[in-house]
Structure 1
Amino acid sequence: MSEPPTPAQVLREARQKDSRDKRARVLSVVDQLVADDEPVTFTGVARAANVSHWLVYAEGVREHIEAARRRQGRHAANDARAGANAPAGWKVEKRLLQEDNRRLREEVERLKDAVRRSLGQQLDQFGAADLGVRVDELTEDNLRLQGERDEAMARIKELAAELSEVEDDLASARLSLRHMIRAENQNTGPR
């Protein structure tokens, strides 16, 4: 029969499992970034994997990240050479897409600002009087709920007292019934 693990062993095993999980999460994030053709950086990987910066520079992890960065660098160099040989239509299309992306980003920012302004105006419309009325309503509700709670607590105490009384009566009835059964058994005894 084996002995149960000591607290130190349990703690060590838990830390090792946590370390393995974090390292696996980092490697998964690196592979996902490469697959999505996103730039692989130590800070980006640490942030995406929700781990410390120390871990991404640790032995075994750092090498994996550096290898992914080298692969991306070679891929970017190949893309640059391919871009030089790309048809003029593709270059124009790429430029148009970049302009569309820039325009869409600006529109998103403009819409975000409009929403912020609208929310600010709505908040400004609530005056101090409206807030005072709302505070009064909430205070009344609070007092009403406190009264209901107090009534419920009193009712619970009453019911607990009744229950205790009924339990005492039941115990007495059981005891009396036992005495009656015992007396009846003694009177009718074996014949």
Structure 2
Amino acid sequence: MRDRRTRDKRARVLSVVDQLVAENEPVTFTGVARAANVSHWLVYAEGVREHIEAARHRQGRAAASGARAGAKEPVGWKLEKQLLQEDNRRLREEVGRLKAAVRRSLGQQLDQFGAADLGTRVDELTAENQRLQAERDDALARVKELTAQLSEVQDDLASARISLRRMIRAENAP
């Protein structure tokens, strides 16, 4: 199935090349790919490329003997150049449209957040920040207080253990 499609595409390319030569139209890789509705890699594939180059060579020899014998550019370059310029123009227009759409979208997003809304939000965040700092300071003071109590309790415990050991020794003494 795939081989048949490949053969059909190659045959279509060769037919287009023969048609362009018969109509005395310039044969270019891009022009052939577009006219045959195939990818660019196919027109450069082995077996197809040689056929296109041969047609271009024949056209070049015919032009050399004809009125365009003094032309510096090979046949088809003007068409290739024109096609590329059209593609570039189309792509530039598309880039311009996309840039404008992005600008409009960003503008709408910025309009949604007015200066008054942003000021209110900043005030809210500032108040929340101050509240959290106060909570942190209270928690640190509580930790300091509990650390002091723990130290005091540990000292009391150590003293009680020492007293208990002395009492046990005194009881066990003869």
Give the TM-score normalised by the residue count of structure 2: 0.46
Q: Which has the larger radius of gyration?
A: 2
Give TM-score scaled by structure 1 length.
0.42
